[in-house]
């Protein structure tokens, strides 16, 4: 296990998790990495650790560069277990002189491990010297946890960003210029849509703040995915754009079905949206998962929800995905609902209220069909699709 050199002083000592497919409900179909970084100097620094089960691999990579016992300082930028999971093992094995966290990081780590790790807190603007260079801390509260923090190695212009600017993407090619944009862009969008999206206003402010602080990174080193060395400004620009949540002429129809009726309605609605010149994606909760739905919504302008009724409730898979989307707080969407029921259509009416609670602007009453749709019902579906297409077109132009 070898470390990978990033700059004169800095090394990647992280791990690649090729096999993870479920990251607390986020489908990681291309795996992920847990990046940790070593900065050499008179007082070597380790930035972040890795998921607990990969502790040995991280230590092997550190050993390829220096004796781990020589590490003077460990910094934990964020206390989620994919980065802090091996912190206790690392502190016990290395016995560093200093362990730095943010104020909220101290609370989180204490609540997670219930051990006295002799943590010291740092805040925005605090600095530590590393030979002739300086590592400056920048708190990034709610990007994406209250404790989140970045660190900037000033002379080398190397920005360690923890979760920010990352993606769940397992790759042995550790730099942006070594990876296929068609693959990574989708994973970067998925990561933003599923993790960062609710904090988009904070993203906008934060990008302004780091610019104001004069931080112009030559390299961006996040804790997931690869390191941005060729074009670090690219991911900053993408975050700036995604944070606006600007709607497009794209509708996402998400639905589930019991005996095919709601599915047939979805197909007719989609056809009419397309005929109005809009893009449409049709996602069955039988065929895709909630994090794929959130990803498709990142660039959408409409969320259309279809659900059958089961035991006087909406179908459970739809309750699941709506709960998830509500938490992500996507702005600037129009919406509509539809579905098939047997003898009680009230749960489908209730979906409109759920959309409104999510901040979606509902443009039509719920479209319901008892049991199997007939030609009149299909006509209503096409009318709804046309209304969605026309409204999107007016809104986006
Ligand atoms: Fe918030 Fe990668 O952990």
Same-domain check for residues 79 and 22: yes
Ligand 1 atom closest to 162 (CA)? 2
Ligand 1 atom closest to 166 (CA)? 2
Do 70 and 80 contact (CB within 8 A), yes or no?
no
148 in any annotated domain: yes
Written as one string, the DSSP assignment of 253-307 is EEE--SSSHHHHHHHHHHHHHHHTT-EEEEEETTTS-HHHHHHHHTT-SEEEEE-
Strand order in the sheet with 119-121: 4-5, 10-12, 37-39, 45-47, 73-75, 98-101, 119-121
Same-domain check for residues 116 and 9: yes
Q: Catalytic one among 57, 156, 163, 292? A: 163
Tell me which residues have their CB closer than 6 angstroms to ligand 1.
Answer: 78, 80, 82-83, 144-145, 163, 223-224
Annotation says 114 is catalytic = no
Number of helices (H) and strands (E) in the chain: give both, helices first: 12, 24
The number of folded domains in the chain is 2
Annotation says 17 is catalytic = no
The domain that holds 203 is classified in CATH as 3.60.15.10
Report the C-alpha gap between 230 and 220 in whole angstroms: 10
Domain boundary among 195, 212, 243: 243
Annotation says 24 is catalytic = yes
What is the pLDDT, as a whole number, of residue 7?
A: 95
Q: At what angle do helices 87-94 and 103-113 cross, to 10 degrees?
A: 90
Residue of 344, 343, 356 whose CA lies nearest to 305: 356
The domain that holds 372 is classified in CATH as 3.40.50.360
Same-domain check for residues 134 and 23: yes
Kind of pairing, strands 302-306 and 334-341?
A: parallel
The predicted model scores a pTM of: 0.97
Same-domain check for residues 260 and 126: no
386 in any annotated domain: yes
What is the pLDDT, as a whole number, of residue 397?
A: 77
Report the C-alpha gap between 345 and 157 in whole angstroms: 60
Same-domain check for residues 177 and 291: no
**Domain containing 156: what range?**
4-243
Annotation says 60 is catalytic = no
Report the C-alpha gap between 319 and 322 in whole angstroms: 5
Q: Which two tokens stand for residue 111?
A: 């609540």
Domain boundary among 212, 227, 243: 243
Same-domain check for residues 353 and 387: yes
Report the C-alpha gap between 226 and 237 in whole angstroms: 17
DSSP 132: T
Residues in the chain: 397
Same-domain check for residues 143 and 115: yes
**For ligand 1, atom 1, which residue shows the shortest CA distance?**
80
CB neighbours of 332 closer than 8 A, spacing ≥ 6? 245, 246, 247, 301
Q: Which residues pair with 240 in a beta bridge?
A: none
Same-domain check for residues 237 and 286: no
For the purposes of burial, counting CB atoms within 10 Å of the CB of 173, is it exposed (0-12), middle (13-18) or buried (19 or more)? Answer: exposed
What is the pLDDT, as a whole number, of residue 34?
A: 98
What is the pLDDT, as a whole number, of residue 212?
A: 95
Do 186 and 198 contact (CB within 8 A), yes or no?
no
Same-domain check for residues 234 and 266: no
Task: List, for residues 289-347, the tens digit of each pLDDT value.
Answer: 999 999 999 999 999 999 999 999 999 999 999 999 999 999 999 999 999 999 999 99
Same-domain check for residues 50 and 176: yes
H or E segment and range at residue 338: strand 334-341
Report the C-alpha gap between 149 and 289 in whole angstroms: 30
CA of 223 to the centre of ligand 1 (A): 8
CA of 385 to the centre of ligand 1 (A): 39
H or E segment and range at residue 305: strand 302-306
371 in any annotated domain: yes
Domain boundary among 243, 277, 303: 243
Report the Cα–Cα distance between both ends of the chain, in Å, rounded.
Answer: 54
Place of tokens 């230590």: 59
What is the pLDDT, as a whole number, of residue 347?
A: 98
72 in any annotated domain: yes
Task: List, for residues 351-383, the tens digit of each pLDDT value.
Answer: 999 999 999 999 999 999 999 999 999 999 999
Same-domain check for residues 222 and 257: no
Report the C-alpha gap between 51 and 31 in whole angstroms: 13
Ligand 1 atom closest to 144 (CA)? 1
Query: Residue 144: is the preceding peptide bond cis (ω within 30°)?
Result: yes
Q: Which residues pair with 250 in a beta bridge?
A: 279
397 in any annotated domain: no
Same-domain check for residues 301 and 225: no
CA of 98 to the centre of ligand 1 (A): 23
CA of 151 to the centre of ligand 1 (A): 16
42 in any annotated domain: yes
Q: Catalytic one among 82, 176, 189, 296? A: 82
Report the C-alpha gap between 213 and 211 in whole angstroms: 5
CA of 84 to the centre of ligand 1 (A): 9
**Which residues of the chain carry a pLDDT beneath 50?**
none
Residue 43 exposure: Cα atoms within 13 Å on the Cβ side = 16
């Amino acid at each position: 296990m070898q470390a990978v050199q990033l700059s004169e002083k800095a090394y990647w000592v992280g791990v690649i998790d090729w096999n993870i497919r479920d990251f607390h409900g986020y489908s990681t179909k291309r795996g992920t990495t847990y990046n940790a970084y070593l900065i050499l100097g008179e007082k070597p620094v380790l930035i972040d650790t890795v998921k607990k089960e990969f502790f040995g691999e991280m230590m092997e990579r550190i050993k390829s560069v220096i004796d781990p016992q020589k590490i003077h300082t460990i910094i934990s930028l964020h206390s989620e277990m994919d980065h802090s999971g091996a912190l206790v093992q690392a502190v016990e094995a290395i016995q560093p002189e200093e362990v730095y966290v943010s104020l909220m990081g101290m609370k989180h780590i204490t609540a997670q491990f219930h051990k006295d790790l002799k943590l010291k807190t740092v805040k925005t603007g605090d600095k530590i010297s590393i030979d002739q260079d300086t590592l400056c801390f920048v708190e990034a509260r709610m990007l994406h946890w209250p404790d989140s923090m970045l660190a900037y190695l000033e002379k080398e212009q190397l920005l360690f960003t923890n979760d920010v600017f990352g993606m769940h993407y397992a790759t042995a090619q550790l730099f942006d210029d070594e990876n296929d944009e068609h693959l990574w862009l989708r994973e970067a969008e998925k990561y933003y849509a599923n993790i960062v999206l609710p904090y988009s206003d904070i993203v906008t402010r934060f990008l302004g703040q780091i610019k104001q602080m004069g931080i112009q990174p030559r390299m961006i080193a996040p804790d997931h995915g690869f390191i941005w060395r060729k074009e670090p400004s690219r991911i900053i620009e993408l975050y700036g754009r995604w944070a606006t949540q600007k709607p497009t002429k794209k509708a996402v129809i998400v639905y589930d079905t019991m005996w095919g009726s709601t599915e047939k309605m979805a197909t007719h609605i989609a056809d009419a949206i397309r005929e109005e010149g809009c893009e449409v994606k049709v996602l069955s909760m039988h065929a895709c998962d909630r994090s794929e739905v959130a990803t498709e919504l990142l660039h959408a302008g409409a969320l259309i929800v279809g659900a059958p009724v089961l035991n006087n409730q909406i179908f459970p898979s739809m309750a699941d995905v709506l709960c998830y989307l509500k938490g992500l707080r996507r702005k600037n969407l129009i919406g509509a609902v539809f579905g098939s029921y047997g003898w009680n259509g009230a749960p489908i009416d209730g979906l409109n209220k759920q959309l409104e609670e999510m901040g979606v602007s509902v443009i039509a009453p719920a479209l319901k069909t008892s049991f199997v749709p007939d030609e009149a019902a299909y006509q209503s579906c096409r009318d709804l699709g046309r209304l969605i297409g026309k409204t999107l077109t007016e809104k986006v132009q």
